Chains A and B, each alone.
Chain A
Amino acid sequence: MTPLLGGVNVISAGAPLFGEALRTQGVSVEEVEWRPPADGDAALAGALARTWQTCVDEANAVALRRVIHAQQVLIDVRPAGEVIPGMTRDMVLHAGPPIEWQRLSDPVRAAAIGAMIHEGLARDEEEAARAVQLGTVKLEPCHHHQAVGPMAGMTTWSMPVLVVENRASGNQAYSNLNEGLGKVLRYGGTGPDVLARLDWMRRVLGPTLGEALRRMPNGIDIRALIAQALHMGDECHNRNRAASALLIKALAPHIAALDSVDATERQRVLEFAAGNEHFFLNVGMAASKAAMDAAHGVASSSMVTTLARNGTEFGIRVSGLGDRWFAGPSQVPKGLYFGGQSADDANPDMGDSAITETAGIGGFAMAAAPAIVQFVGGDPRDAVTYSQRMYEIALGESEAYTLPILNFRGTPTGIDIRLVVQTGILPQINTGIASRRAGVGQIGAGLVNPPRECFSEALLALAQALPPTVSDTSSGRSL
């Protein structure tokens, strides 16, 4: 039996007078700032109670270990069709949970049309809509194919994708390449300049990056790169300046050495990379995906392995709940808008980029990136507070990613749906804000939370999926 009579050291939840009485007796007491869980919803609180079980804790320990010990290495850039499992020529991958064509928001629908035009699957909007409705083109979530994509997330057969290998678990994850800011496909831009850039990325950028990476014997250690970037003021979701610079630093000598690529194009590749402060974003996303996929599918685990939005809905998936999505309406982020724009112009939140928060960076590592408040609002102390709050819903702390201002404490890692329902604290996501009009692009940046019901519903499902408890088996008795 755990020692008890030798002396007590107390955690107190409830009436403060008991903790106070213990403190006057010289006992060490940690007081829980307790509030009714589940917003006072009795059924949900009951389900929550069921999930505090050893089997869940053990499953979570396994899942968390897989996240924390992931060893993500960027090894290649290849056309999606060559590497993404289940990818077909008539398939368009999009961000977020599955969604029907009719329910797509304007920028996402426009991006899907642009992607189909780029891929030669349609010539215009009308053909694109018909192709999807007839089923000749299939619309599927990136997440169903070990892939992620920011904002609209559109990925087609011939698009170059980053290949990140998780050497601890042996799985791979993929993401398309970042197009830069302004008028871009991921925000629903489909003009000639957008399509021309996509074409250049397919012809030149992708193959060049792929060739350079293949010449690096060990690829690029993304876990180490993220760890370093956090110490340089990035949180690797909404601020990627340091990480992008580090990535370019690692790539540049190898790109410069590629005799097979025309010198002007080599220069253009480097210029393109250097001109995009979010060049790293998609790499960090693929790395996060590689960690979370390794942790998915641990029976009974309550750890979130996916947070993703499609511009209409926000969906989550949970390690122990298989491929089920738990979705609710996507929110409009709160934040700062570029000149002349306001919340009225904003599309509901979109993109797979919240995979970074799922893996313990982004909003969870905001304390590493105090400068980000200039972009999303608030003051630097808020950045620290956001990270601190995320520890309340995290299963553990990263070993690789640390927060200097919190004395190098590991970032909060592995969201526990139980703790979200228990505390009412929702995951904090840093995000770009898209215009609700197709093709305008990013109009601001800010903070957003998933809808609460994603977690409530997932928790109810988990409670049902768990093996029966003692009280369930004894409930038939008359007491």
Chain B
Amino acid sequence: LSPSSDATLRVSVRRNSYADSVSLLQVTSAVAALPGVLDAALVMATDLNQEVLRGSNMLPAEASDAGPNDLLIVVRAKDAISADTALADAEALLAERRPVTPHDVTEQPPRSIRSAHRRQPEANLAVISVPGPYAAAEARQALAEGLHVFLFSNNVSLEDEIELKQRGREKGLLVMGPDCGTAILNGVGLGFANVVRRGRVGLIGASGTGLQEVSILLDRAGQGISHAIGTGGRDLYEHVGAITTLQALELLGDDPATERIVVISKPASTDVAQRVLQAAAATGKPVVACLLGMAADAPPGVELAGNLYQAARLAAPSGQWDNLNFDNLPRLRRQTGQDQIRGLYCGGTLCQEAERAIGAPNGHQLIDFGDDRYTRGRAHPMIDPSLRNSAILAAGADPRVAVLLLDVILGFGAHSDPATAVAPVVQEAVARAQESARQLAVVAHVVGTTGDAQGLERQEALLRGAGVHLFGSNHHAAVAASLLIEGGR
């Protein structure tokens, strides 16, 4: 054998690194087929193997001290670049996992996040929805694995949340949650999310239903979103310090697909909100902040919105926004003492938005059935409507209640047919009120899009059929409820 004089011989010695000969042969044939490679050998440096290599002029001097526990990677190529590339490729091929399991062996399901990550090493996100007491541990495991976390679980302590978020920040990982209902990343909905248009508005929300509402309002106005990042409802609390919101602002600030940003939060620390607004201004992109129940000063570049509808509209001024009117509201005949709005909500932020629109308390009563105290040991009301349904019936029998205010939420993760689940209950509540000669008005907003699997039109038709007055946003539904009380006698 006389190799051409301009061929390059390269060797890499991996000390004390064993691989079985079958795997080595497979990698050898793959390396030999690389462009520019004339010959390749991957062998354990046993005496016999060294002799064979020497016989074919494939044993460079650098390999002379290698022993039977060392792995030799030898490549002869037509030039130095091909040889070096082939060596690097050989290393990569060796590192590659072998095909997991032959077809005739049943794969066992992974029993931990770590094990699942080993099977799917390309994973970048852990979606965790285990019961609250176990959720922090799973999230820690995910962070230790270098995964971003979408933590749907609720009933996680504030201390755990702080620790998880601090740890995530140290590692450059986002902890969305706990109690994070919604995110849409690169068009993929996580948790409860609606099918909405892709577009240029990036959303950040310490509120799942807040994110859902703004995203569907944008969709219905013909606009779209780049990403929606959930942070968990307590992210703007004093001791959490908006860690996730600030990380998300940085992400969307750097994201070329995002032109405008909307930040949504439920009531929290004003100091923290101020820091968030400063960071929002620092992105250099136009930002709309809807910080429900918080008084804050908007720095230049940041606009404040008083409700979710306004936030969506400010973020997409070029959208097709209907001018909503309340002309078709019925005139409500109320009995003496029948002057209460009863808001029964699945979405926490929607509930708070309604409170602000109505000016509760004022004798009105608004309940968020997604709150931790209603979800211990049971599914979220978006999935399991039974608790709210009982409350709807009770409202029908309550002589104080004049207006029933509801949200109906569609999208991934939600009940497969929520209107069918709630419409007969609404009818029965109205019938109960009528039995006592009371008129009960029912006002609702459907959080959904035509893309949602439940079918927006069908859901709305079912609700209208049950006598429900529907409005295009939650804010408007709440305003309508107020007007009904004010206008009614």
Q: Which residues in A have some Cβ–Cβ distance to B below 8 Å? A: 1-15, 17-19, 21-22, 25, 27-28, 30-37, 42, 45-46, 48-49, 52-54, 56-57, 69, 71, 168, 221, 223-224, 227, 381, 384-385, 388-389, 391-392, 399-400, 402, 405-409, 419, 422-423, 425, 469-471, 474-475, 477, 479
**Is B420 an interface residue, CB under 8 A from the partner?**
no
Q: In the bound complex, what is the Cα–Cα distance between A21 and B194 (angstroms)?
A: 11
Check if B123 sits within 8 Å of A30, measured CB to CB: yes
Check if A13 sits within 8 Å of B127, measured CB to CB: yes
The verdict on A11 contacting B116 (CB below 8 Å), with A21-B413, A22-B127, A392-B108 known, is yes
In residues 84-107 of chain B, which contact A (Cβ within 8 Å)? 98-102, 105-107
Could you say which residues of chain B place their CB within 8 Å of the CB of A221? 68-69
Check if A45 sits within 8 Å of B134, measured CB to CB: yes
Check if A9 sits within 8 Å of B129, measured CB to CB: no
Check if A3 sits within 8 Å of B124, measured CB to CB: yes
Check if B111 sits within 8 Å of A42, measured CB to CB: no
Could you say which residues of chain A place their CB within 8 Å of the CB of B173? 1-2
The verdict on A11 contacting B142 (CB below 8 Å), with A1-B173, A30-B110, A168-B16 known, is yes
Check if A5 sits within 8 Å of B148, measured CB to CB: no
The verdict on A69 contacting B124 (CB below 8 Å), with A5-B227, A13-B138, A49-B140 known, is no
Check if B125 sits within 8 Å of A4, measured CB to CB: yes
Q: Chain B's nearest CB lies how many Å from the CB of A75?
A: 15
Check if B413 sits within 8 Å of A18, measured CB to CB: yes
Q: In the bound complex, what is the Cα–Cα distance between A72 and B459 (angstroms)?
A: 70
Check if A11 sits within 8 Å of B147, measured CB to CB: yes
Q: In the bound complex, what is the Cα–Cα distance between A33 and B130 (angstroms)?
A: 11
Check if B136 sits within 8 Å of A49, measured CB to CB: yes
Q: In the bound complex, what is the Cα–Cα distance between A55 and B260 (angstroms)?
A: 40
In residues 416-465 of chain B, which contact A (Cβ within 8 Å)? none
Could you say which residues of chain B place their CB within 8 Å of the CB of A15? 129, 152
Could you say which residues of chain A place their CB within 8 Å of the CB of B185? 4-5, 7-8
B21-49 Cβ-contact flags toward A at 8 Å (1 or 0) = 01100000000000000000000000000
Q: In the bound complex, what is the Cα–Cα distance between A416 and B239 (angstroms)?
A: 34
Check if A408 sits within 8 Å of B129, measured CB to CB: no
Q: Chain A's nearest CB lies how many Å from the CB of B402?
A: 37
Q: In the bound complex, what is the Cα–Cα distance between A406 and B115 (angstroms)?
A: 16
Check if B16 sits within 8 Å of A69, measured CB to CB: yes
Q: In the bound complex, what is the Cα–Cα distance between A419 and B159 (angstroms)?
A: 24
Q: In the bound complex, what is the Cα–Cα distance between A32 and B134 (angstroms)?
A: 14
Check if A12 sits within 8 Å of B137, measured CB to CB: no
**Is B6 an interface residue, CB under 8 A from the partner?**
no
Could you say which residues of chain A place their CB within 8 Å of the CB of B108? 385, 388-389, 391-392
Q: Chain A's nearest CB lies how many Å from the CB of B467?
A: 31
Partner of B20, one of A8, A402, A419, A479: A402
**Is B65 an interface residue, CB under 8 A from the partner?**
no
Partner of A399, one of B17, B111, B125, B166: B17
**Is B62 an interface residue, CB under 8 A from the partner?**
no
Could you say which residues of chain A place their CB within 8 Å of the CB of B137? 37, 45-46, 48-49, 52, 422
Q: Chain A's nearest CB lies how many Å from the CB of B189?
A: 7
The verdict on A392 contacting B111 (CB below 8 Å), with A49-B140, A52-B144, A408-B98 known, is yes
Interchain Cβ contacts under 8 Å between A and B, 8 examples: A4-B251, A13-B129, A25-B189, A31-B109, A49-B140, A52-B144, A53-B140, A402-B20
- Count A-B pairs with CB separation below 8 Å: 223
In residues 308-356 of chain B, which contact A (Cβ within 8 Å)? none
Which residue of the partner chain B has the closest CB to A21?
B412
**Is B191 an interface residue, CB under 8 A from the partner?**
yes
**Is B272 an interface residue, CB under 8 A from the partner?**
no
Check if B123 sits within 8 Å of A11, measured CB to CB: yes
Check if A4 sits within 8 Å of B111, measured CB to CB: no
The verdict on A18 contacting B191 (CB below 8 Å), with A4-B125, A471-B163 known, is yes
**Is B376 an interface residue, CB under 8 A from the partner?**
no
Check if A32 sits within 8 Å of B110, measured CB to CB: yes
**Is B295 an interface residue, CB under 8 A from the partner?**
no
Check if A4 sits within 8 Å of B174, measured CB to CB: yes
Could you say which residues of chain B place their CB within 8 Å of the CB of A5? 185-186, 227, 251, 255, 257
A-B contacts besides A11-B142, A28-B120, 16 pairs, CB < 8 Å: A7-B186, A7-B188, A10-B123, A11-B116, A11-B126, A15-B152, A31-B109, A32-B115, A385-B108, A405-B105, A406-B102, A406-B105, A407-B99, A409-B100, A422-B111, A479-B159
Q: Which residues in B have some Cβ–Cβ distance to A below 8 Å? A: 16-20, 22-23, 68-69, 98-102, 105-120, 122-131, 133-134, 136-138, 140-144, 146-148, 152-153, 158-160, 162-163, 166-167, 171-174, 185-191, 227, 239, 247, 251, 255, 257, 383, 412-413
Could you say which residues of chain A place their CB within 8 Å of the CB of B138? 13-14, 34
Could you say which residues of chain B place their CB within 8 Å of the CB of A1? 172-174, 247, 251
The verdict on A9 contacting B124 (CB below 8 Å), with A14-B129, A34-B130, A470-B163 known, is yes
Could you say which residues of chain B place their CB within 8 Å of the CB of A32? 109-113, 115-116
Which residue of the partner chain A has the closest CB to B121?
A9
Check if A470 sits within 8 Å of B239, measured CB to CB: no
Could you say which residues of chain A place their CB within 8 Å of the CB of B100? 407, 409
Could you say which residues of chain B place their CB within 8 Å of the CB of A49? 136-137, 140, 160
Could you say which residues of chain B place their CB within 8 Å of the CB of A470? 162-163, 166-167
Q: Chain A's nearest CB lies how many Å from the CB of B238?
A: 8
Could you say which residues of chain A place their CB within 8 Å of the CB of B128? 12-14
Could you say which residues of chain A place their CB within 8 Å of the CB of B158? 479
Check if B136 sits within 8 Å of A227, measured CB to CB: no
Partner of B120, one of A30, A53, A168, A224: A30
The verdict on A37 contacting B124 (CB below 8 Å), with A22-B190, A52-B141, A419-B114 known, is no
Could you say which residues of chain A place their CB within 8 Å of the CB of B120? 9, 11, 28, 30
Q: In the bound complex, what is the Cα–Cα distance between A35 and B137 (angstroms)?
A: 13
Q: In the bound complex, what is the Cα–Cα distance between A34 and B138 (angstroms)?
A: 10
Q: In the bound complex, what is the Cα–Cα distance between A419 and B144 (angstroms)?
A: 13
Q: Chain B's nearest CB lies how many Å from the CB of A215?
A: 18
Q: In the bound complex, what is the Cα–Cα distance between A56 and B145 (angstroms)?
A: 12
Q: In the bound complex, what is the Cα–Cα distance between A227 and B174 (angstroms)?
A: 43
Query: Which among A8, A31, A384 has the greatest number of chain B C-beta atoms within 10 A?
Result: A8
Which residue of the partner chain B has the closest CB to A223?
B18
Could you say which residues of chain A place their CB within 8 Å of the CB of B118? 391
Q: Chain A's nearest CB lies how many Å from the CB of B232?
A: 15
Check if A45 sits within 8 Å of B166, measured CB to CB: no
Could you say which residues of chain A place their CB within 8 Å of the CB of B123? 9-11, 28, 30
Could you say which residues of chain A place their CB within 8 Å of the CB of B152? 14-15, 18
Could you say which residues of chain A place their CB within 8 Å of the CB of B188? 7-8, 22, 25, 27
Check if B68 sits within 8 Å of A10, measured CB to CB: no
Query: Which among B133, B153, B171 has the greatest number of chain A C-beta atoms within 10 A?
Result: B133
The verdict on A227 contacting B162 (CB below 8 Å), with A32-B112, A52-B140 known, is no
Q: In the bound complex, what is the Cα–Cα distance between A55 and B47 (angstroms)?
A: 41
Could you say which residues of chain A place their CB within 8 Å of the CB of B114? 419
Could you say which residues of chain A place their CB within 8 Å of the CB of B117? 11, 30
Could you say which residues of chain A place their CB within 8 Å of the CB of B129? 12-15, 18
Could you say which residues of chain B place their CB within 8 Å of the CB of A399? 17-19
Q: Chain B's nearest CB lies how many Å from the CB of A290?
A: 14
Q: In the bound complex, what is the Cα–Cα distance between A477 and B127 (angstroms)?
A: 30
Partner of B163, one of A25, A45, A469: A469
Q: Chain B's nearest CB lies how many Å from the CB of A86?
A: 29
Q: Chain B's nearest CB lies how many Å from the CB of A403?
A: 10
Q: Chain B's nearest CB lies how many Å from the CB of A414?
A: 13
Q: Chain A's nearest CB lies how many Å from the CB of B110?
A: 6
Could you say which residues of chain B place their CB within 8 Å of the CB of A2? 124, 146-148, 172-173
Check if B144 sits within 8 Å of A8, measured CB to CB: no
Partner of A8, one of B186, B257, B383: B186
Check if A471 sits within 8 Å of B160, measured CB to CB: yes
Q: In the bound complex, what is the Cα–Cα distance between A149 and B17 (angstroms)?
A: 29
Check if A227 sits within 8 Å of B133, measured CB to CB: no
Query: Which among B112, B122, B413 has the greatest number of chain A C-beta atoms within 10 A?
Result: B112
